[in-house]
Structures are given as structure tokens and as C-alpha cells.
Structure 1
Amino acid sequence: MSDGLDLAALFAHPANGGLRAIAGAQPSVVWRELVVAADESGLPDEGDGRLAVLTVPPPATPWQQDALVRRVRDRGYRGLVLPEAEGFGAGTRSLAERLGLALLGAADPMALARAGWELREGRDALTLGYVRRVAQSIEYHADNLADLLRHLSASVGHGVALIDSEGVLLEAGEALPASVHAAIDFGPWISTVELPEGSAASVRVDSPSRAGLRLAVFGRGLGAVQLSALAVAAEVAMPAVAARILIDEVADVNDAAVASGLLRDFLELRDSRDSELEQRMLERGWRTTGYHLGFRLVGRSRVDTLQLLRLVARELTALPVDSHAATSGRGVTGWLSFATPPSPSRVEESVRALLAMHTAARRVFNVATGVGTLEGGATGLVATIDGASDAARIAAGRSATGYFVRIDALGLEQLLLSWTESDTFVPAAESLLAPLLARGPELVETLAAYLDHESGIAATAEALGLHRNTVSTRVARAQELLGLDLADPETRLAVHLACRALRR
């Protein structure tokens, strides 16, 4: 048996008969117990700090209402509940407050009485009631996990959330206070938390695919009795939640594979047209018309691309712009789409949003992010994704920029260097410099340093620690073997990039 019955717990009970405050009702008030009678005459003579629940409405005239409030308080009762309590006049309400009597209304006084009995003495009945509501929710065919949580919340009458140690993954009914989340112990099977700003009962989710999850039922004013009952209800709901997670993950994997394949097919077409492919893209909401800003996140180490995609999708939902993303290779590729040309300020705002998304991803994954340029149409979508991919490759080695690079913030040399890292350029560089490579590394090293120092013999000799004549001889020999004229600007650029590619 509990030490008392508090108003906050009654308000938090999902079946409290429509309880509402009329006057003098402080959430902190605690009654010794609850007494039910048809009218005032049926109440025990000694109120002894109890809550009086009457099943008849209040009298109609103000003097009769005042008299009822005085008599109930004089007999020692500290609270009075009636149906149609809104009929009390302003004077009677002020009187109740002066006398220290909590004046309350309830559409169904008997339901309120049962709720009070459950909280005071009928703990098993309270638990059974919650479990029955959970069972009814589980029988419902939910569309997805979010839908299931919504029905659980509506059934138990409290907020429901799927959480991990980092934060709230999904919630329904209301928002889980950050302080309550922080106080939850993720170690034990069941954890209960009682704070002024809210209380919660949570249970560990036994999911084979995602560790560290908990199902929490929470609300304001929940006492120890309710938390104990809700902990049992959460245990009953947990297997259904775990099963729904698995079902949704299988669907997510299949959908991610379809989206990834569709993106790959689109990028491979380049400038070609395919009406069937365009139709499939439209069915996913991917429009190639308008203007696009591509981005790409790549793992700097091994990452779970599906989990990364979930995080990216969650961050993108907060942006006031059409957005899409799909797994691609060892990362995620996506883009923002605008129906009309966005202003420079809106583009900058979008880039800042992508930086915030990158920052959120970095808290969980070891990734680098690249952002392309704003481009128009289908060919522009391919171009901005290409640019984002180049920028992401450069960003992977840029700790100074937080592993985030925007392609149009780079210089020409950096763009060319990103090209030299492609799978097609390296073999071409090896073929071009093969006559030098066949004679050892000295000629290539000397030629690379010579080009790095803008054809300065003295600077090259100093950098390599060689005599100037040695450098001159090697450079002349390299030009002879290659059969190229390094005085030609395009030839110099090609050879210079080839040397850089083989040196990386």
C-alpha cells in the first residue's frame, strides 16, 4: 500500500474519468485516501484529509455551492470531486482556494474512483489494465515502427519512445525530456526514473540487429506505483517492438538496394536518356528537372552504410528543401533539389545545413563529406554528384577542414589532383612514364621535383641535394626517353600530374 494518493498521479492516470482542475488544485497535494458517495450526506463524518468523490452535480445556486464547500472542508476533507463542476461560480471557487480545498471535476466519478483505488491499493489491477491496453495495440497491424509506437502511446495514455544512449530515435505522444533521458540507466533490464520534469519506465530491447536500445514509457506526475506497472507493460510491448524493428530493417535494406541501383544506373547513363529509368526515378520522387546541389559522405574507415543512410535521412527531414539520398559504394550520395534557381544566400544556407549534417554524422561515423556545385537539369545532377564525389575524396585527407570540403571552394590544382586519384588516370600515368620507371626511380623523382620547382635547375638541385649538372643531365635524359617537349604548357601539365599521381 502506498503512503497516499497524489493529484499528479491521478492526472497522469490514463483512465481518470476526465479529471480536471476547477480551483485550489495544486499538483503536489496528497490525500490519505479516496471516498466515494452519491452526495454529501453519504460521506463519512470524519474527512481526515481524504478526497471526497460525489456522483451528483453541484447545487445550482451560489449560496448552496458555498455551503457545500464549507461543510465538506469543515468535516476534514481536503478535496472534492463532482461531475459538472464547471457549474461552480467564481465566488465559490475563491472560497475553496481560501479554505484550502481542492475543487475538481470529473465526467465519470466512478472511473476516477477506480483509478484512485488502482493507485492506492490495486497495483495488480493497474498493471493488468496497462498490459491489456498494450495487448490491444500489438494486435493492430502497424505500417511501421513509428506507427506502432503511436498506437502504444495512445493506448497507455503516456509518451512512448525508442531510445539509445545518444538520444531519442523515435517518440510518440509527447517529447521525452532530455534530463529524463540522461537519468535512464542503460545497464539493467528495467530502469525507472522520477524527476520533477518527468518520469519514465524503460526496458532493454532485445534486438539482434541493433544493440543498446531501450523502450521507454514516460510522462509527468507518474508515481512509483504507475512506473512499476508501466515497466511491466513495456516488457510486454518490447518483443513486438523488436520484431517491428527487424521487419522495418529488412524493408529498409531492400529499399536501399533498389535506390542504390537506381542511382548507379542514372549516373552510368551520363548524358543519355532512358524513359523507363526516368519513370522509376519519378516514382521515388527523384526529379531531374530544376536545380541540384549534390553531396557525398564516404567512410574514412569501415562504416555501416545503411545506418549512415538512416542518420542522413533523419537530418535531411529537417531541411526546408526537397532532398534525396542513397547508399553508394562505401558511403552515401545525395542531393538537394530546387524548383527554381535558389539565391546565393539560400545556397549558402543549404551548405551550412549539410555541414551540420556532416557534424552530426561525425559523432557516430568516421566519415568525410564533399559538396558539389549548384547545377541544373539531369546532366547538372550528374555533374554536381561527380563534383561532390571528388570533394569527398579530397576531404578524406583534410583534417584541417574537419573532413568537409566544398568543391567550388577549391583551386584548379586541387581539382586536378583529385582527378589524378581516379582509377582511370593512374594506369595512364604509369603508361606515360613507363620509359623512366624502367630505369629506376631517380629519373621520375628528379623530373617531378623539377616540375614542382617551375623548371628551376638550382632550386631542384637544392631540394634533392644534387649537383646542378646532375639535375640538368637527368631532366634532358627524361625528355629524350619520353619523346616530349616540356616547353609545351599542356604537355608539362600532363607530365606533372602523372608524376604527382605516382608519388601519392
Structure 2
Amino acid sequence: MSKQLSVSHLLSHSANGGLNILVGDENTLWPDVVVEFSESRFPNHVEGALAILTAPPPRDAWQQDALIRRMRDRGFRALAMPGAGSFGKGTQVLAVRLGLVLLSVERPMELARACWQLLQGRDSLTLDFVRKISHSFEYRADRLSDLLRVLASNIGYGIALVASDGVVLQAGGELPVELLNEISFGPWVDTVSTAHGDAASVRVDSPSRAGLRLAVFGNGLSDTQLNALSVAAEVMMPGIAARLLIDEVADVNDATAASGLLRDFLEQYPVADAELEQRMQDRGWRTGGYHVAFRVTGRSHLDTFQLLRMMKQELAEIKTDSHAVISGRGVTGWLRFQGPPVPQDLEAQVTRLRRMHHNLRIALNVATGIGTLDSGRAGLYTSINGANDAARIAMNRSAAGWFVRIDALGLEQLLLSWTENDRFVPAAKSLLAPLQRDGAKLLTTISSYLDHESSISATAEAMDLHRNTVAARIHRVQDLLGLDLTDPETRLAVHLACRALQE
């Protein structure tokens, strides 16, 4: 442990009496502290100690200069006193020239106690933290984030719940990424000091979430402070782990209720049940306005609660009203707009959802689908179903980064609507409508062409036509539909559509 103090150590102390540095190097060290109510009572010879004078400074500049000279002549390296901010510019320049650190402190005796704790009363510093922590746990916190806020406020340092891939929750400040990267996740207790700050951390013993650490952090901490804070982290950890478990049980219950509510809405549609509508209102699901739904699903096995947590963190950065609900092997959600969004705003939100998808894929193997913009209760239902279709398409779209927007697909959704005939047949008719203008010959030709595995010769023989006639008709079909029949998925979509209209 360090047996010397610096201004930086005291500035990082949560109870330093309102200390401020006026002039001098904050990294100047001193081995001892002397506290007196009068300048005349200080010893005549010290070895670089800190002097804490509880009386205010004299008013006249010459007297202030004389005080500075006498304290430095006695061997003091730093002087702290109330009202030191009234020292004139000339006096401050003199202090710099003499090598005396000049400090202003609002409560000198509190500063003296902080010095004593850091130099000699290490157990007192630790007990102070324990007492403040015990008072914090008497507060009825609503969530873990609320509890962390109270703890950080009471002990005077930042607190963060961290995992190896980033900060989960934090309060009382922001843990620098550079400092997080230096925290070791192996040992039970770890302390680290860097140019970006200092931290004491402990492994969180949680049955529900492995790999977490509780870190207490600040700047300019001494060894004494770090060791005291490591004990404080150990004292806090069981309460944090318990609160984490309580919140996760509540989250699971809430997620289950939300999932059931979404299922009821989709299954009962278009029936407008008053009790269901009230449940949706109670949860904040307003069906008025405009909706864009999205669906994120696992391309391999994943923890849907982890996915929901990560998505909610991403959605919190979107200012638009948003909801996310566990549904099957993934999460279904939607954005709600009070009125019709202008195209630029809508594109900005879709871009933000694409960024969410990218961030999710860093940790999870997922595919994302985006539905259409629709209004009202019917629009919410339609957009959710469109997002589900888009997500199923996205499962096999590596070229699209496993992200598909249904608006951009046109009628390729036929591939996934095949099992839902009431939705497929109208879409098939719409897809092939341009071929009806030339009678049935183009529809018959393309259907036979696809039945014969896209062979011009086989189609010509089956239809008793010249191969050039068949080739010209196929070329005409592609022009009318605006499709590339060399693409396997496009061929399948058109083939399914032809089959549907022939039944």
C-alpha cells in the first residue's frame, strides 16, 4: 500500500471536504498531514507534509505572500485552507515559484479525516463504504439500475455491471472502454490502474447469468482506496446478484405475458375483443397510428431472453415508440408513428433497424425481416405478418446479410406464402397479370417451360411449336414481368404462381 498521498488521491475521495486545487501539480506526494487552527501552531520543521489550516487566509496581499513563504520555509509541500480562492494572482504565482501546492477546501476537518483514512485509518475507510452500502440496500429499488444509481450516489464512485463484451448497466459515471479492457475476468477480485482510470472489481456469483463482474471505478485512486473499494464491491455483490435474479424472474414473467398477448391478438384477428383491446392498452400497445413491424429470429439455437434484452437496449436509442415481444424462436416487434411518417423519416428508422440487426449479429446468429408501413389495427396485423414472411426469406439470404425488407422483395414473398393459399393466390394473380394481356398463350408457354425444367427444346416439342417461337415467348414473359428467369428462386416463384392459377 502507498504510504504517501497526492491531490489526485484526495480529489477522488468521496468525502474530501469540497477540495479544489488552485495551483501546483496534483501528483505531488506528501507523507504526512498536519492540521491546525492557527498558522503559528504549525511545527517549524517538517518533511514535505500537507498543512491543513482551518482558519481563512488574511485579506491583505502582503500577508498572504508572507503566509505562503512561512509555510514553505517550514518544509510543507502543500497548503489547504478555506477561502484560499481569495488569494491574489501574485500570491498564486509566488506559490508556484516556491513549489507549494495551494488548495481550497470548504470543510477542513472532513479533509483531515479523509487524509487520516488514506494514510492510517484504512479500516475506517472500508467501514465507511460498508456503512453507506448498508444504507443503500435499505432503499426500495424498483430495478437493478435504480439500485446501482443509489449505491453510486452514496459511495461517491461509479459502479458498473460488466461482461467481457461490454457494459451491461452502469451508474455514477461512464466506465471507459480502455479501462474495461484492462479488467481481468479470471480472479475473484481484481484491481487495475490505468491512464484512463482505476477500478476494483469482483466476480458476480449469479446462477442466472455467468461471466459478469461488478466494478467500482474512479480516477486517481490510491492503493488504499482501491483495496477499500474491492472490499466494498465484495459486500455489494450478493445484493446485486439477488436483485439481478429478481429482475430476471420479473422479466421472464413479463415476457411470457407479452408473448401470450401478442399470440391472442394474431389468433383472434379480425375479431375485436374488448377485453383483449384493454389488455393491449394496459401494456401500452396502441393500435392507432402507423406501424412498421420487424421480426428477428435465430438461424441456429439461441436464448430468446438474451435476444430480447439486447434488442431492447438497441431500441432504447430509437426515439419512436417501439415494442418487442418474444414469439417462437425469435422476437417480434414494431415501431409506431402517431401520423404517417415522411419517407425520409421512415427510411431513417429502417436504417436504424438495420444497424440493430448488424449489432445483434456480432453476438448472435440471427436473421431480420421488416414489414410494410400500415395503419390501424389491421395495419399492425398486416405488418407483423409481412415481417414474419421477410424474416423467413432472410434466413437463406446471405447475400443480403440475412436482412430483408418486404417492401424491397415485391412478389418474391410467394416463395414463403405457398402454404397460406388465401394469401398466395391473390399474389399469384397479381404477379402473372401482365401475361393475360396477350391471352393465354404466354401463361401456357411459361408454365410448360417451367414444367420442362426450363428447356426450350422440350417445351417446343410438348407444345408442338418451333423452338424460336418458344424462345421469343419466354423473352417476352421476362420483359412483361420484369424478372430474371435465370435466378432459381425467381423461377420457383413463377412456377408456383402458374401452378396456383391452373388449379
Q: TM-score range by the shorter chain?
A: 0.7 to 0.9
**What's 1:484 paired with?**
none
TM-score (ref. length: structure 1):
0.85
CA shift, 1:452, in A, is 7.7
Equivalent residue, structure 2, for 1:91: 90
| Letter matched to residue 416 of structure 1 | L
> After the TM superposition, which residues 268-417 of structure 1 pair with which residues of structure 2 at under 5 Å, given as runs?
268-412=267-411, 414-417=412-415
Distance 1:142-1:423 versus aligned 2 partners, 3 A rule: farther
Paired letter, 1:8: S
Note the C-alpha offset of 1:100: 2.0
Letter in 1 for 2:4: G
Deviations 1:198-254 (A, max 9, x none): 110000000001000000000111121111110010000000000000100110011
Instruction: Confirm or deny: 8 A CA contact 1:82 1:104 kept in the other structure.
Output: yes
Aligned to 1:5: 5
Find the residue that maps to 1:105 and give its secondary structure. Answer: strand
Partner of 2:150: 151
Alpha-carbon separation, structure 2, partners of 1:181 and 1:424: 54
The one-letter code matched in structure 2 to 1:398 is R
Alignment correspondent of 2:178: 179
* Partner residue in 2 for 1:419: 417
Deviates more, 1:388-397 or 1:299-308: 299-308
Greater alpha carbon shift after TM alignment, 268-277 vs 186-195: 268-277
**Structure 1 residues 66, 391: closer, same or farther in 2, change over 3 A?**
same
Contact kept? 1:457, 1:472, Cα under 8 Å: no
Contact 1:450 1:456 in 2 (8 A): no
Instruction: Work out the CA distance in 2 between the residues paired with 1:63 and 1:71.
Output: 12
Gaps of 5+ in 1: 427-448, 474-488
Counterpart of 2:258 in structure 1 is 259
What code does the residue aligned with 2:269 have?
R
Alignment of 1:474-493 (within 5 A): none
* 1:434 counterpart residue number: none
Contact 1:311 1:361 in 2 (8 A): yes
Deviations 1:268-316 (Å, cap 9, x if unpaired)?
2323222222222122221111111110001111111111111111100
Q: Which amino acid aligns with 1:172?
A: A
Cα deviation 1:366-407 (Å, max 9, x = unaligned) = 111000111111111111111100000000111111111000
Query: 1:83/1:388 Cα in 2 relative to 1: closer, same or farther (>3 Å)?
Result: same
Contact 2:19 2:106 in 1 (8 A): yes
More off after superposition, 227-236 vs 361-370:
361-370
- Show the counterpart of 2:61: 62
Q: Would you say 1:496 and 2:498 are equivalent positions?
A: no
Cα deviation, 1:310-360, whole Å, max 9, x if unaligned, reads: 111110010121111111111100001111111111111111100111111
How many residues align? The count is 456
| Alignment root-mean-square deviation, CA | 2.7
- The aligned counterpart of 1:459 is 455
Out of 213-222 and 55-64, give the one that drifted further: 55-64
Aligned to 2:441: none
Q: 1:61 to 1:302 in 2, by over 3 A?
A: same
Once the two structures are overlaid, the 10-residue window that deviates more, 170-179 or 278-287, is 278-287
Q: 1:141 to 1:282 in 2, by over 3 A?
A: same
- How far apart are the structure 1 equivalents of 2:307 and 2:346? 24
Change (3 A) 1:59 1:111: same
> For 2:455, what is the secondary structure of its paired residue?
helix
* Corresponding letter in the other structure for 2:37: A
Q: Secondary structure at the match of 1:13?
A: coil
Question: For residues 362 and 457 of structure 1, what CA distance do their matches in structure 2 show?
Answer: 37
Deviations 1:90-140 (A, max 9, x none): 332232223221111222212111111111122222112112211221222
SS in 1 for 2:184: coil
SS in 2 for 1:15: coil
* Distance of 1:93 and 1:262 partners within structure 2: 69
- SS of residue paired to 1:410: helix
CA distance in 1, matches of 2:49, 2:262: 69
Is the Cα–Cα contact under 8 Å of residues 452 and 458 in structure 2 kept in the other structure?
no
Q: Is the 8 A contact 2:367 2:403 kept in 1?
A: yes
Structure 2 CA distance for aligned equivalents of residues 294 and 76 of structure 1: 73
> Greater shift after overlay, 301-310 or 88-97?
88-97
* Partner in structure 2 of residue 247 of structure 1: 246
Task: Measure, in 2, the Cα distance between the counterparts of 1:65 and 1:319.
Answer: 57
